[in-house]
Amino acid sequence: MKKILTHILLLAALSLPPLAARGQQTDTPRRGEGISLFLQRHGRTPKLYHDDFVELNRKKLGKDEELLLGVKYTIPPLKADAGTRKKTSRRGTVREPLLGRKHRDVKVTSNTLRGTCFYLVSGHGGPDPGAIGRVGKHELHEDEYAYDIILRLARDLLAEGADVRIIIQDAKDGIRDDAYLSNSKRETCMGDPIPLGQVARLKQRCDKINALYAKDRRKYSYVRALFVHVDSRGRGKQMDVFFYHAPGSTQGRQLASALRTTFKQKYDTHQPGRGFTGTVSGRDLYVLRNTAPVAAFVELGNIQNRFDLRRLVQSDNREALAKWLKDGIVKDFKSK
């Protein structure tokens, strides 16, 4: 009897479909969607599930782990400890594919920002390029430069042990070192097409942040949103970096002030005698008024002014802007 039962169990096991076919979810990617966006759309954090996804779907991926339209991909099953949000992998790195192939693996060098979460939003995107500047034959779009700085800031925050949500995303660009960044309309709001209408566009990103925050506020000790833009004024108007917070938001004002103080200290160190005229003020902007977490809004300069443009087109300067923003955030976090 025992021998018969063993044979029955063996036959049952052999008749079972492969693991990927047993209760595992599959889906096809949307146009312009990379692995990161695909995982986020299905409730999987790219940092935790990227390697699992690649392992499950290796034979179906295109060059450089590209998702192919019309192909069904297996979605990794939820991990039992996904709610604890691991900060680093066993190799001491986190992977964020949106940073680009060269920069996607970020070495975590400290736990300074462990237990924190950030929503990073670059202005405009998709059908709306934002402010437009020109240098010779080159047309410079606000959304491309703000996005590059946001990606660099995301990398710096990840290296300090933070968790990061990049709200406006381009599955192709990654961090770029070109002076004149190529323009596109590929950007999405975490996988969703960006509306052309201003109010609809701003509402979409606020709704996305607020939905994430409803869950994240229970997991993290410090959660902040940062909106990064580039202004457009007359060509003769040179501007320092300005910082805004929601009117009446004490913590928003503290964050903006920490950013402003950091920038002033950096300029005093690197360009003594230059001075710094950037200010902090409350401003009734839609995204500040309608975003649930504490937020700050940053204007990086005037895209029409040739002196301010050096702040944007030189990749070393974009790198410095990101690091200074990170330092200001660390300053605010430590003050708590």
296-313 pLDDT, tens per residue?
A: 999 998 888 888 888 899
pLDDT in tens, 273-303: 888 899 999 999 999 999 999 999 999 988 8
Q: What is the pLDDT of residue 86?
A: 39
Q: What is the dihedral of CA 261, 263, 267, 270, to 10 degrees?
A: 110
Residue 154: pLDDT over 90: yes
Q: What is the pLDDT of residue 303?
A: 84
Q: What is the pLDDT of residue 236?
A: 61
pLDDT in tens, 143-153: 999 999 999 99
Distance (Å) of CA 63 to CA 34, 214, 232 = 12, 37, 39
Residue 83: pLDDT over 60: no
Q: Residue 240 in 3-state DSSP?
A: coil
Q: What is the pLDDT of residue 64?
A: 75
Q: For helices 142-159 and 315-335, what crossing angle results, to 10°?
A: 50
Which DSSP symbol is given to 21?
Answer: G
Beta-bridge mates of residue 245: 282
Q: How confident is the model at residue 34 (pLDDT cuts 50, 70, 90)?
A: confident
CB atoms inside a 10 Å sphere around CB 250: 10
Residue 78: pLDDT over 70: yes
Q: What is the value of pTM for the model shown? A: 0.76
- Strands 242-245 and 294-302: what pairing? antiparallel
Sign of torsion, CA 132 133 138 141?
Answer: negative
- Strands 105-107 and 116-122: what pairing? unpaired
Highest mean pLDDT among 32-46, 59-73, 80-94, 175-189: 175-189
The phi, psi pair for 224, rounded to 5°, reads -140, 150
Q: What is the pLDDT of residue 42?
A: 84
**Average pLDDT for 77-86:** 52
Helices (H), 79-217: 142-159, 198-216
Any idea where the domains of the chain sit in the sequence?
A: 1-82, 87-335
Q: How confident is the model at residue 77 (pLDDT cuts 50, 70, 90)?
A: confident
Residue 2: pLDDT over 70: no
Comparison of pLDDT for 141 and 7, the residue scoring more: 141
**Average pLDDT for 223-239:** 85
CATH of domain 87-335: 3.40.630.40
Q: What is the pLDDT of residue 87?
A: 41
Q: What is the pLDDT of residue 84?
A: 36
Q: What is the pLDDT of residue 118?
A: 98
